[in-house]
Amino acid sequence: MKFAYRQFFVPDLTKPKNSEKQIMVKLMKLYFAPLEGITTYTYRNIHKEFFGGCDEYFAPFITPSANEKVSIKSLRDIMPENNRNLQPAVQVMANQPEAFLNFEEKIKELGYTSVNLNFGCPSSTVVKKNRGAGALLDIEKLDNFLKGVFEKSSLQISVKTRIGFFGADEMQGIMAVYNKYPISRLIVHPRTRQDYYSGIPDMAAFEEALCCAKMPVCYNGNIFSVKDFEGIRERFGGLDSVMIGRGAISNPAIFREIKGGEKLKTRELVDFTKALKEKYLDLLGSEIYTLHKLKEIWIYNMWNYPDEKKLLKAIKKSNRLADLICAIECLPEL
């Protein structure tokens, strides 16, 4: 079966003039990457209320169960009633076309018309099942999987990928597979699976992917500030979009800042945390579970306060929600 390609995306790697910068930021899409256990619908809803700025939130990946069925529980995070005034991008990890197509039917019933395939997750528990970045180990199987999906799917399908499993030299073969299919957008995290999240993203490998891609390309990886974003935008002028994950958890105002809005304030972070606390308490019915959730988020938030080692220690050692709130109330203004 032949697939009809969307219009080819031809990147312009020249740097824009200063007068063009604001226009380019407006044209580029800004995506909030999914972080398992953090960016659930509770977090997404409150983030939009307090900060906003991103063009689309990606929900953490959903994986069909062992028998390839999709439970109602696994769909809870993307249920329309749980996502106020926003429809997140749905992400799935599957290694069998039948599992994907079964999942597709479930999300179409919920009103979704697109889905993101995850070939980027480096987790060992995921990889050993040939899911996530594990799919990159066998290019022939990856090709067969995508063929089985695109032959029958009626959804718009984007892909999130790494540049290889062991090394960046795998990128050329991976791109040859992706370019065979009408992928709506390719989100590239320029690290290998072996890199996990350490080291510096391989910009040369990303540029190679950008130059040969037959679809719009999104950059993902190590954007923690407006300066980081500007560096990526100026180096890769033909980018379609940028995805930010850990940088958006540490600074939830980063999308607003990129678009020229106000910088993050400590008071905002404190109020944001209090709003999350109330929602988590209501949802989880447990102070200890809520405390664990907020601690995980504040490990990232404290990147904004590198000199506040005592307060970081106090946050980590908090045994009650009141202790954590007291600690963050003592933080200096940014």
pLDDT of residue 15 exceeding 80: no
pLDDT digits (tens, 9 = 90+) for 176-201: 999 999 999 999 999 999 999 998 99
Phi/psi of residue 50, nearest 5 degrees: -85, -40
pLDDT of residue 233 exceeding 70: yes
Across 101-130, average pLDDT: 94
Helix axes 287-301, 266-284, angle to 10 degrees: 150
Confidence class of residue 76 from pLDDT cuts 50, 70 and 90? Answer: very high
- Count of CB atoms within 10 A of residue 287's CB? 15
The answer for residues whose C-beta is within 8 angstroms of residue 120's C-beta and 6 or more apart is 132, 133, 160, 161, 162, 187, 189
Query: What pLDDT is attached to residue 73?
Result: 76
- Distance between CA atoms of 46 and 273, rounded to whole angstroms? 10
Question: Is residue 163 within 8 Å of 131, Cβ to Cβ?
Answer: no
Query: What pLDDT is attached to residue 20?
Result: 52
Across 239-262, average pLDDT: 97
- Distance between CA atoms of 187 and 40, rounded to whole angstroms? 20
The domains of the chain are located at 18-258, 266-329
First-to-final CA distance of the chain? 57
Across 14-39, average pLDDT: 73
Return the beta strands (E) in the chain as ranges: 29-32, 56-57, 91-92, 114-119, 156-164, 186-192, 217-220, 241-244
Name which of 152, 78, 179, 153 is nearest 161 in CA terms.
Answer: 179
Give the residue carrying structure tokens 């070939």: 119
Confidence class of residue 25 from pLDDT cuts 50, 70 and 90? Answer: low
Superfamily designation of domain 18-258? Aldolase class I (3.20.20.70)
Query: What pLDDT is attached to residue 193?
Result: 96
pLDDT of residue 10 exceeding 70: no
Tally of CA atoms within 13 A in the half-sphere of 286 that contains its CB:
9
- Distance between CA atoms of 128 and 135, rounded to whole angstroms? 10
Tally of CA atoms within 13 A in the half-sphere of 17 that contains its CB:
2
- Distance between CA atoms of 43 and 245, rounded to whole angstroms? 13
Query: What pLDDT is attached to residue 66?
Result: 58
Question: Is residue 131 within 8 Å of 95, Cβ to Cβ?
Answer: yes
Across 12-35, average pLDDT: 67
Percent of the chain with pLDDT over 90: 87
Query: What pLDDT is attached to residue 85?
Result: 82
164 or 68, which is more confident? 164
Query: What pLDDT is attached to residue 19?
Result: 46
| DSSP 3-state of 227 | helix
- State both tokens at 290: 């809520």
- Count of CB atoms within 10 A of residue 206's CB? 25
Query: What pLDDT is attached to residue 8?
Result: 36
Confidence class of residue 24 from pLDDT cuts 50, 70 and 90? Answer: low
Confidence class of residue 5 from pLDDT cuts 50, 70 and 90? Answer: very low
| DSSP 3-state of 156 | strand
Percent of the chain with pLDDT over 70: 90
- State both tokens at 130: 């040939």
pLDDT of residue 297 exceeding 50: yes
Whether pTM > 0.85 for this model: the answer is yes
Name which of 203, 177, 172 is nearest 190 in CA terms.
Answer: 203
- Distance between CA atoms of 131 and 119, rounded to whole angstroms? 7
| DSSP 3-state of 176 | helix
The answer for residues whose C-beta is within 8 angstroms of residue 287's C-beta and 6 or more apart is 281, 320, 321
Angle at 211 between CA 209 and CA 216, to 5 degrees: 75
Polymer length of the chain: 334
Confidence class of residue 7 from pLDDT cuts 50, 70 and 90? Answer: very low
Max avg pLDDT among 63-67, 80-84, 162-166: 162-166
Average pLDDT across the chain, whole number: 91
